[in-house]
Structure 1
Amino acid sequence: MAPLEVIGAGFGRTGTQSLKEALNTLGYNTMHMTSFIADPTLDPTIFKDAYMDKDKPVDWDQAYKGFTAAVDWPTCLFYKELMAKYPNAKFILTMRDADSWYKSIKNTIHPRVRDVLAGGDHPEHLVRMVDMVATVELDGAHRDPALFANEDEMKRRFMKHNEEVQRTIPAERLLILQLGEGWDRLCRFLNKPVPKVPYPSSNSTEKFNASTERFLSQAAASSSA
């Protein structure tokens, strides 16, 4: 079983979907939160249980079976455990300014999570994924609209995470990648040649909401068929 070679330590909505596509272009097979939507066989409860009981042993090889890289939530929350488990892995901290990050998550992930938590006819694997998301992201803030609406607190959590990552991961194992940077430093860090294609630019707020609507419509059609 191939171990993880590249691990994303940055929160979602910091260019992680573009990074996933970039890593796949470089030859990795990358887990991202969207992987749980695309593949109903992936088990999000592994990550929920790991978050809820940090003393319980986790089979990380099983959690990431078939993947050689992982970015976005929930992976970014377990960077300390993964740093110890995979001592040869390299880490990437994707970053953007806190104001634009909060605006983005407020207009994308949060309302979608709230929709599914409210109930309705959703595919079972989506419900399991959203339950995990609502538990692990931002220490459960998606379950508490009043807390999530506290912009200063959400941005504090975002910045605290980024600061802790930089304090914890040795500099030689960590690349800090700003939103929209492109290929050059990423490829140098991973010792890969620069591809002859543009760096991916995906999952804007508009694309996120459009793709989510498309998935939910397809899932509803399948359920009623």
Structure 2
Amino acid sequence: MARKSSSPTQSASPTPLTTLLKINPLPYLAFSIPLHSPVWHLVERLYALPSPPAPRKRTQPMQVLCVGLPRTGTESLQQALLHLGYDHTYHGWDIVYDDEVHSPGWAGRRKGAVITAAEFDELLGHSVAVTDAAASVFAAEMIAAYPEAKVVLNMRRDLDAWETSLDKTLVHANESWGFWIASWLDRECFWAWHVYERFLWPLLFRAGDGDMKRAIRGNARWVQREHCNMIRGLVHKDRLLEWYIEDGWEPLCKFLDKPVPKVEFPHANAAKSGWKTREEQCNKRWVERALGNLILLGLGLVVSIVVARMYLF
């Protein structure tokens, strides 16, 4: 019998956690190392970018925070806000595709700590709106840091479809051996994996062991419920819009005091199309470069062995 679609206020029982910040490099490895361990600090130093970008500075006030969870129309919202003139609107893809690689900065932000607007501005200073990963994981911190910004709580009505979308995207990425291996062979890829698979998504969905599939199946609905309730408790109703992707332009434009565009509302990043395109971009940007590094590493090893045999044996 088919499962009934659930409203965003329904929840499932949470999966018990051991230690929230113990994340496995892959979900099914038998060991875990706490992220605050000196081991990870050493690894982060080894993979530090040779020329890190300068911290950004705010050029315009932050105006809109779209704090809904991933796969709730976040990229569609980004495209809509850009169309309405909110340039730049920061999305989770910016963390990994930004021309200036600021992803290590997100690993340095600790959820639950007091993060000032100036600290967020080092990463978001060029943006007047933000959606997706950063806005959902650091929703409470951003709401406190930018008290004048309007807040959009983007949600999905069909939670069955939402879970399926999470499974086809976040879980798929989490279970990618190719992505994980490439993360050890390319600095930028390392930080993309490190930020998303060891920090952002495990923190959001309470994946204490790094297993996103189990966390999403066990925790996604109650995380959604608690997240929405938290936002409602933090933001005055006059400053908050609860919005579903099906609502389209009108409530969004009314809330933002913008005229309704005479174009169809954007629908971006579908699991079968937009996400697949992004994966192909990842392969081209990181995996191919990682393979090149692996070949060079192999050649270096062969040369070292040959030289050692010539002079030591």
Q: What TM-score do the two structures reach when normalised by structure 2?
A: 0.65
Aligned 1:1-225 pairs, distance under 5 A: 1-28=59-86, 29-51=88-110, 54-55=113-114, 59-96=119-156, 97-115=158-176, 118-120=180-182, 123-134=186-197, 135-139=199-203, 141=207, 144-145=210-211, 148=214, 151-219=217-285, 220-221=287-288, 224=292
Give the whole-Å Cα distance in 1 for the aligned partners of 2:282 and 2:201: 21
Could you give the per-residue CA deviations for residues 146-183 of structure 1, whole angstroms, max 9, x where no partner exists? 77356232221122111211122111111111122210
DSSP 3-state at the match of 2:102 = coil
AA of the residue aligned to 1:214:
E
Could you give the per-residue CA deviations for residues 5-32 of structure 1, whole angstroms, max 9, x where no partner exists? 0011101100001000000000111000
Larger relative helix fraction: 1
Give the whole-Å Cα distance in 1 for the aligned partners of 2:112 and 2:231: 21
DSSP 3-state at the match of 1:35 = helix
Cα offset, 1:203, TM superposition: 1.0
Given that 2:170 and 2:212 are in contact with CA atoms closer than 8 Å, whether structure 1 keeps it comes out as no
Could you give the per-residue CA deviations for residues 106-134 of structure 1, whole angstroms, max 9, x where no partner exists? 11122213326631266532331221112
Given that 1:15 and 1:180 are in contact with CA atoms closer than 8 Å, whether structure 2 keeps it comes out as no
Give the whole-Å Cα distance in 2 for the aligned partners of 1:146 and 1:9: 20
Given that 1:95 and 1:176 are in contact with CA atoms closer than 8 Å, whether structure 2 keeps it comes out as yes
Q: Gapped runs of 5+ residues in structure 1?
A: none
**Compared with structure 1, are the counterparts of its residues 146 and 170 closer, same or farther at alpha carbon in structure 2 (3 Å cutoff)?**
closer
**Compared with structure 1, are the counterparts of its residues 90 and 55 closer, same or farther at alpha carbon in structure 2 (3 Å cutoff)?**
closer
**How many positions carry a matched residue from both structures?**
225
Identity %: 25
Q: Supply the RMSD in Å over aligned alpha carbons.
A: 2.5
Given that 2:202 and 2:208 are in contact with CA atoms closer than 8 Å, whether structure 1 keeps it comes out as yes
DSSP 3-state at the match of 1:7 = strand
DSSP 3-state at the match of 1:176 = strand
AA of the residue aligned to 2:254:
R
Give the whole-Å Cα distance in 2 for the aligned partners of 1:211 and 1:47: 24
Mean Cα deviation higher: 205-214 or 190-199: 205-214
Could you give the per-residue CA deviations for residues 61-108 of structure 1, whole angstroms, max 9, x where no partner exists? 212021110001122222222222222200101101332222111111
Give the whole-Å Cα distance in 2 for the aligned partners of 1:36 and 1:221: 20
